[in-house]
Structure 1
Amino acid sequence: MGTAILTDGLMVDADAIADAMEYYDQRGWTDGLPVVPVTESILAAFLAATDRDPDDVLFTIPHLNRSITVRLAAINAALAGCRPEYLPVVIAAWEAIAKEPHPHRGIWQSTTGTAPFLVVNGPIREQIGLNSQGNIYGSGFRANATIGRAIRLGCINVFGLHPHLLDQATQGTPAKYSACIGENEEQSPWPPFHVDNGFAASDSVVTAYVIRSVMHIEARHTMEPEQLAEDFADSIRRTGSLIHEYTSALLVLVPEHAELFAAAGWSKDDVRQAVFERVVRPRAELAASGKDAVSHKTRWRLSAQHPDAMPDTTAGTDTPDLVPLLSYPTSIQVMVAGANNAGVSSVVEVFTLNPPRDTPYSMSKIGARP
C-alpha cells in the first residue's frame, strides 16, 4: 500500500501518484517533466468549464491525418496542470493556431525548431492570474506555464510530435515547453493589441505566433526614440536571423520603453514604421555571410555563388545594393509586457512564410463560437 500523507485534512496516496506519473512517462505522454494524472472526474470538471461539444474539432494537421478535439485539448490541459477555468483559453489558442498556415505545412516537425507562442489580452488575464508584468518568459505563474504547456502536450500526445521522431528540430527552443504571456495593458500608453485588431477592450483574445527565439534588448542608455528604434532594428537585421528572403518580428516593449516612445509623441504605428525603415543591410554585408541571394527552390537565403542561387527581390530595384529585410511595416508588431523596472525589452523572432503574410499572427476570441 502506498504511503499516505495528510494535506489539509485530505489523505493522499503519494506512492500511487508517483506510480501514475511513471506510467505516463513510460508511455511517452509527457514533455519530459512529470504530468498530472487525469481521471474521468477530473476530465468532467474541465469539460464543464466550456459549452463546447467534446467532439468539436479544433485543429487538424492534414498530412498527419490527426485532429485535436475539445475533449483531447481538455485531457492535455489537465495533464499540463491547468485548472479547469483555463480550458476556454486553451481552446481559443488551438483555434488561433488553426488559422496559422505553418503547422499545416509541417513547420512544427521542421529542423528549424519553431514553437507556438501565445499572447493573451483582455479581462481573462486577471480572472485566471495570467502574468503580464514581470518575468513574463520565466517561471512562477501557473496560468502562463500550464496553458502554454497544454499546447505542447497536445502536439506530442495528439499529433505525435515527439523529439527524434516526427519532431526533427535540430536544437529546438525553450519555447517548446511553454510560451504564453499576457499583454501589460494597464501600464501601456497605447490601446492593447486586441483592440488594435478590432476587438472590444472587454473581449478576451488569444493571439498565436510561430516563433524561433526571444532576444532581449538591453537599452537603459537613451531617452531618444530614434536611438531606441535603431537598437531594435539592429537586432532584427542581424544576418543569423535571416532565413527566408524576408523576416518578421514582434517587439515586446517594457512599459519604460513604451513610455519613452509615447512621450515623444510616437504611436505604435510610428514605432513600427521607424523600425521598418531601419531594417536594411548593404548587400556587401550580406555577401560576407553568404546570404546575398536566395534559393530557386525554397527562397531561403544563400550565397550568390551557390548553384541554386537567384537574385532576391531587391536586386531588380533602383537600390540593388541596399537590401530591405522586411516586406511590410506590419512585419513588425508592437505590444507591451513586462515590469516597469528597467529598460529591458525583447524581440521575438517570428517565423513567416515566403512570401510572408501581411500580418504574421492569428487571433481567436475566448469563448466565441466557431
Structure 2
Amino acid sequence: MTDILSARDEEAALEELHRLGCTDGLPVVIPTAERVSRMVLASGLDADMMLGTMGPGHGIATVEKVAIAAVMAGCKPDYMPVVVAAVKAVIEPEFDLTEMQATTHCTAPLIIVNGPARHTCGPIASGTGALGPGHRANATIGRALRLTMINIGKARPGSSDMALLGHPGKFTFCLAEDEEASPFTPLHVSRGFEADDSVVTVLGAEAPHSVIYAGNGDDPNSYKSLLELLAMGLANPPSNNGTLTGGCATVVLNPEHTAILHGAGLTREDIAQELYERSFVEASIVKRLFSQFAGANPQDRMAFKGPEQILILQAGGSGVYSMVMPSWCVGAHANAAVSVKVEADLFCEIPGLATA
C-alpha cells in the first residue's frame, strides 16, 4: 500500500513534496487519490500489480506508484501505457538500472516510441524540435519515468544518484520515430516486432551531440563524408564509447540526411555497418591520450562490438543537423537497449476526463 500524505492545500502539498525530495526540482501536479485512481483506471491494470523492482533502492514498482509519477509529471491518461512500457524496459536486467542510477557518468534513459502509440498515446512528437520544449507527451512521459527512478528507485543526487554533472535529459528524454517520412523500416521492426505493434525502446544516452553536414548533389560519393562525421560523433575520444567501448549508441538522422544515405542505396542495416567500421579511435591517440587505459600494446579501439549496437532512427526537421548520442558502456550488460511492447489495448478510456 502506498503511503498517504496530507497537507492543508495544494501549495503546502507541493512544498512538502519538494522537502521530501520527491520531485525533480520542478513543480509537479499534486497526486491526489482521485487523480491517481483515474490514471490507474486508464492503464487497464490493477493498482497493486507489480511490474518489478527499481534500483538502487530496489523499490517495488506497482501500477499505482507508476500512476503517481505520471500524475506528478503532468501526463494525460492517454500516455499511461507508454509510461508503463518504459518502466518495464528499464526494470529488465539488461538495462543495468541500478548501476546506471549510481554511476558518476551523465547517462540518462532515452525513450524512443514506435508504432500506433505515437498517435493513440500522444501525439508523441517526432518532427521539428522533438527533443525540445513544447511537446507535452514527450516532456511528461520522459519526466514520469524519471520520477519513478527518483521515488521508486530512490536515486537522489549526491547520495545514490552519483552523476558528477548530469545533463538535461535527466529531466525528460523522449521522442518518437518519424516513421511516415522515413524510407527505412521502423526501428521496432528492425528489432523483431511487427509493424503494427507499439513499442518503447529505452537505452542510456548522453545529451545529443550535433552533427553538421551539408550535402553535395554534384558528388555521388558525398554520403561517405556524412558517414565519417556521424562516426566521429559516436566515437569521439573523450566519450565512453571512444575510451571504454562496447555500449549502445543512438543516431537520429534528420530527413535530409536520411535522404542522402537512402539515395546512396543504403538500408538502415547498411548504415549501421558503415558506422561500425568507421567508429574507432586510432592506436596513436589511445596511447597518447588514454595512457591509463591503453595497456602495453595499444591497438585501434573499436567503439562498438558490432553494428547492432548502433540504433538508427529518423526524427526532427529537415536541414544540416543530425544528432548522435554516445552512451555509458558500463554495467554487466553495458547498459543495453531494451524494447518492450506497449499494451495499449488495455487502455480504459474515461469519457470527459479532465487532465488534472
Task: Please state how far the C-alpha of 1:367 moved relative to its aligned partner.
Answer: 0.7
Q: Is the 8 A contact 1:54 1:69 kept in 2?
A: yes
Task: Please state how far the C-alpha of 1:220 moved relative to its aligned partner.
Answer: 1.7
3-state SS of paired residue (2:214): coil
Matched, 1:65 2:58: yes
| Gap change, CA 1:17 and 1:64, over 3 Å in 2 | closer
- The amino acid of 1:322's aligned partner reads D
- Name the CA distance, whole Å, in 2 between partners of 1:323 and 1:38: 49
Tell me the matched-pair count. Answer: 332
| Gap change, CA 1:123 and 1:179, over 3 Å in 2 | same
| Gap change, CA 1:347 and 1:104, over 3 Å in 2 | closer
3-state SS of paired residue (1:181): strand
- Name the CA distance, whole Å, in 2 between partners of 1:100 and 1:187: 34
Matched, 1:367 2:343: yes
Deviations 1:11-64 (A, max 9, x none): xxxx94333322322222210000001211111111111222222222314663
Task: Please state how far the C-alpha of 1:303 moved relative to its aligned partner.
Answer: 4.2
Match of 2:76 among 83, 95, 108: 83
3-state SS of paired residue (2:68): helix
Matched, 1:343 2:336: no
Match of 1:330 among 289, 303, 308: 308
Matched residue, 1:249: 249
Unaligned 5+ runs, structure 2:
1-7, 347-356
- The amino acid of 2:214's aligned partner reads R
TM-score normalized with structure 1 length: 0.84
Q: Is the 8 A contact 1:76 1:154 kept in 2?
A: yes
Matched residue, 2:89: 96
- The amino acid of 1:118's aligned partner reads I
Task: Please state how far the C-alpha of 1:152 moved relative to its aligned partner.
Answer: 0.8
Q: Is the 8 A contact 1:350 1:360 kept in 2?
A: no
- Name the CA distance, whole Å, in 1 between partners of 2:58 and 2:167: 26
Task: Please state how far the C-alpha of 1:186 moved relative to its aligned partner.
Answer: 1.0
Q: Is the 8 A contact 2:115 2:197 kept in 1?
A: yes
Matched residue, 1:42: 35
Deviations 1:74-115 (A, max 9, x none): 001000100111111110111111225343542211111221
Select between 95-104 and 121-130 the one with higher mean Cα deviation.
Answer: 95-104
Matched residue, 1:215: 209
- Name the CA distance, whole Å, in 2 between partners of 1:114 and 1:365: 23
Deviations 1:142-170 (A, max 9, x none): 10000000011111112221112211110
- Name the CA distance, whole Å, in 1 between partners of 2:108 and 2:49: 24
Deviations 1:226-262 (A, max 9, x none): 1110111112221101342434321110111111111
CA RMSD of the aligned region, Å? 2.3
Match of 1:131 among 117, 125, 129: 125
**Percent of counterpart pairs with the same letter?**
32
* Structure 1 segment 159-198 matched on structure 2, within 5 A: 159-198=153-192
Deviations 1:331-364 (A, max 9, x none): 2221111112x1211001123347866x931111
Q: Is the 8 A contact 1:206 1:365 kept in 2?
A: yes
| Gap change, CA 1:243 and 1:66, over 3 Å in 2 | farther
Q: Is the 8 A contact 1:58 1:67 kept in 2?
A: yes
- Name the CA distance, whole Å, in 2 between partners of 1:126 and 1:65: 33
| Gap change, CA 1:246 and 1:124, over 3 Å in 2 | closer
3-state SS of paired residue (2:129): coil
- Name the CA distance, whole Å, in 2 between partners of 1:174 and 1:59: 27
Task: Please state how far the C-alpha of 1:173 moved relative to its aligned partner.
Answer: 1.3
**Rg comparison, structure with higher value:** 1
Q: Is the 8 A contact 2:73 2:143 kept in 1?
A: yes
- Name the CA distance, whole Å, in 1 between partners of 2:163 and 2:82: 27
Unaligned 5+ runs, structure 1:
1-14, 292-301, 305-309
Matched, 1:274 2:274: yes
Structure number with higher relative contact order (C-alpha < 8 Å, ≥ 6 residues apart): 2
TM-score normalized with structure 2 length: 0.87
| Gap change, CA 1:369 and 1:35, over 3 Å in 2 | same
Matched residue, 1:10: none
| Gap change, CA 1:27 and 1:354, over 3 Å in 2 | closer
Q: Is the 8 A contact 1:254 1:336 kept in 2?
A: yes
- The amino acid of 2:339's aligned partner reads M
Select between 25-34 and 239-248 the one with higher mean Cα deviation.
Answer: 239-248
Matched residue, 1:204: 198
| Gap change, CA 1:203 and 1:244, over 3 Å in 2 | same
